[in-house]
């Protein structure tokens, strides 16, 4: 649904809700795709969400809406509708989605719901809840088509026909007598093979798989690299436990991109839908605090070297341009390095080469902008050549400092296994501010006092 239609739907729903035109609303909701409904609900407040969700009567649609909604919103709705209804919906949902949802609820509520689910489903969900949510285990579904290597193509087709609850059955996985993954077969291959053929004679051996503890970003990378529609998940003995489907991989890619972008600006890890000022400040203050103390430290460190300022107070006007140009170049370096690491364009051992390139870039840019800024300094200081030189040299120094911090900080973070994305933004600019400013005053003391 394009942006326009989605806005029209929102407007209509809001109007009808305000007027209390429930029969009309109910008809609209019944006709809307569950994915669009989830998107729509996300734009209303809690009470309205519960109200609108109540107007949806089709059980399958209810399950799909909850699966597509963010876990937080879905959890709220689930807690506010009657328990019996909640259990009914959970039974209808795919078990990997149920596990995600229950994992986000208060322990007591999720235990209660799980107890009422009973049967195979609750057993599977409990199994899934064991895995950390950012791993293959946490995003896999245990519902797949797996068959022994001695089964025939005909038997496999029969199984696909009858396994109704299997999510996107586009591959049939083949296991040996120990339940270990030995091969894979596309549904397509199955359709074009003779009924009597044994699976082991038509399967592709050497199937790519991941372990339950593989990080979800790595899972996404592998699925993307090999153009897969699903990837099998195995334990450390190669026993097949579940599959991760491509639609979940897409969600991972989207979330990770947002997370990286926000982290780089020191603005939390998740977009907060609500207009809550409190939660916005909570996600933002930690980096600001780090930046604040770094900058205060800068004031304390630089102040003793402030002597040149008394004679040359116009030095102050060039502080912003020197540290800003450094900050910009440093942020560029950090961003390029962080993104190269994240996409696999750069591996940690190519570090020296990457830093060397950044250093040459900084030198060249420093000379260009140093000359320009130095010229401006010379003019604006009333033709003081010493001040022009001070500004020019300080610009070169600030840029070299900036790329050094910008390139090496993320690489250092990667080495100590902290996500390099946090090393950009406020971190780089604060360091460049303090070091760039210090070098500006030191250079000024040397050049200006030598000449005066």
CB within 8 A of 351, min separation 6: which ones? Answer: 411
The span from the CA of 163 to the CA of 416, in Å, is: 46
Establish if 55 lies at the interface with its own copies (CB under 8 A): no
Among 78, 373, 422, 435, binds its own copies (CB under 8 A): 373
Q: Is 422 one of the binding residues for its own copies (CB under 8 A)?
A: no
Helix (H, G, I), strand (E, B) or coil at 383: coil
Selected binder of its own copies within 249, 400, 401, 422 (CB under 8 A)? 249
Contact between 392 and its own copies per CB under 8 A: no
| Binding of its own copies by 5 (CB under 8 A) | no
- Closer to its own copies at the Cβ: 60 or 247? 247
Among 118, 150, 239, 258, binds its own copies (CB under 8 A): 258
Q: Does 332 bind its own copies (CB under 8 A)?
A: yes
Eight-class DSSP state of 231: E
Name which of residues 197 to 236 contact its own copies (CB under 8 A): 218, 222-227, 229
Strand pairing of 210-211 and 240-245?
unpaired
Bridging pattern class, strands 204-205 and 181-186: antiparallel
Residue 154 lies near its own copies (rule: CB under 8 A): no
Residues 286-305 that bind its own copies (CB under 8 A): 287-288, 291-292, 295-296, 298-300, 302-303
CB of 290 to its own copies, least distance (A): 10
Q: Which residues contact 143 (CB under 8 A, 6 or more apart)?
A: 94, 95, 124, 163, 165, 166, 167, 242
Taking CB under 8 A as the rule, does residue 74 contact its own copies? Answer: no
Return the number of other C-beta atoms located less than 10 Å from residue 173's C-beta: 22
Q: Is 257 exposed, middle or buried (0-12, 13-18, 19+ CB in 10 A)?
A: exposed
Question: Which of 229, 197, 223, 200 minimizes the C-alpha distance to 210?
Answer: 223
324 binds its own copies (CB under 8 A): yes
How many whole angstroms separate alpha carbon 387 and alpha carbon 375?
A: 10
Toward its own copies, which CB reaches closer, 90 or 329? 329
Could you tell me where the DSSP H helices lie in 212-318?
216-225, 246-264, 277-302, 307-311
Q: Find the binder of its own copies among 57, 106, 353, 451 (CB under 8 A).
A: 353
* Residue 2 or 84 having the CB closest to its own copies: 2
Task: Round to whole Å and give the CA distance between 439 and 348.
Answer: 30
Q: Which is nearer to its own copies, 123 or 314 (CB)?
A: 314
HSE at residue 400, side-chain half, CA atoms within 13 A, is 13
Interface with its own copies includes 433 (CB under 8 A)?
Answer: yes
Out of 336, 397, 405, 411, point to the residue binding its own copies (CB under 8 A): 336
Closest separation in Å from C-beta 188 to its own copies:
6
146 binds its own copies (CB under 8 A): no
Among 115, 281, 418, 446, binds its own copies (CB under 8 A): 281
Contacts of 40 (CB under 8 A, 6+ apart): 6, 9, 10, 13, 32, 52
Token output for 36:
């669009």
Which of 91, 357 has the CB closer to its own copies?
Answer: 357
Does position 430 bind its own copies by CB under 8 A?
yes
Q: Is 160 in the site for its own copies (CB under 8 A)?
A: yes
Instruction: Indicate whether 319 belongs to the interface with its own copies (CB under 8 A).
Output: yes
For residue 281, the minimal CB distance to its own copies (Å) is 6
Q: Does 442 bind its own copies (CB under 8 A)?
A: no
């Amino acid at each position: 649904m394009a942006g326009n239609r989605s806005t029209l739907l929102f407007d209509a729903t809001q109007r009808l809700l305000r007027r209390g035109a429930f029969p009309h609303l109910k008809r609209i909701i019944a006709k809307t795709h569950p994915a669009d409904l989830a998107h729509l609900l996300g734009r209303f407040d809690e009470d309205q969400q519960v109200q609108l969700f109540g107007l949806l009567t089709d059980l399958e649609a209810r399950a799909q809406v909850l699966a597509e909604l963010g876990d937080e919103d879905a959890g709220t709705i689930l807690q506010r509708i009657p328990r019996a209804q909640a259990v009914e919906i959970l039974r209808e949902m795919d078990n990997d989605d149920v596990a995600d949802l229950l994992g986000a609820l208060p322990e007591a509520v999720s235990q209660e719901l799980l107890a009422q689910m009973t049967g195979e489903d609750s057993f599977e969900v409990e199994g899934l809840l064991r895995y950390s949510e950012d791993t293959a285990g946490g995003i896999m579904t245990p519902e797949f088509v797996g068959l022994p290597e001695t089964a025939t193509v005909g038997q496999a087709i029969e199984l696909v026909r009858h396994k109704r609850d299997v999510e996107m059955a586009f591959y049939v996985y083949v296991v040996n007598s120990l339940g270990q993954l030995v091969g894979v077969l596309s549904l397509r291959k199955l359709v074009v093979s003779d009924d009597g053929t044994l699976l082991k004679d038509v399967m592709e051996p050497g199937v790519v798989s991941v372990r339950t503890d593989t990080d979800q970003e790595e899972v996404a990378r592998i699925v993307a690299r090999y153009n897969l529609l699903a990837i099998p998940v195995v334990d450390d003995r190669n026993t097949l436990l579940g599959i991760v489907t491509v639609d979940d991989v897409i969600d991972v890619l989207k979330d990770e991109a947002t997370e990286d972008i926000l982290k780089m600006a020191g603005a939390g890890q998740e977009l907060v839908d609500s207009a809550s000022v409190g939660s916005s400040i909570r996600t933002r203050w930690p980096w600001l605090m780090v930046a604040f103390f770094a900058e205060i430290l800068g004031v304390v460190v630089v102040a003793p070297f402030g002597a040149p300022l008394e004679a040359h107070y116009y030095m102050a006007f060039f502080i912003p341009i020197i540290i800003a140009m450094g900050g910009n170049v440093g942020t560029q370096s950090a961003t390029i390095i962080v993104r190269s690491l994240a996409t696999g364009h750069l591996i940690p051992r190519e570090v020296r080469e990457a830093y060397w390139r950044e250093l040459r870039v900084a030198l060249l840019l420093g000379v260009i902008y140093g000359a320009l800024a130095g010229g401006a300094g010379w003019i604006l200081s009333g033709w003081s050549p010493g001040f022009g030189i001070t500004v020019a040299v300080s610009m070169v120094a600030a840029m070299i400092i900036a790329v050094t911090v910008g390139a090496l900080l993320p690489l250092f973070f990667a080495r100590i296994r902290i996500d390099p994305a946090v090393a950009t933004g406020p971190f780089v600019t604060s360091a460049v501010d303090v070091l760039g400013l210090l070098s500006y005053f030191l250079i000024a003391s040397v050049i200006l006092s030598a000449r005066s």
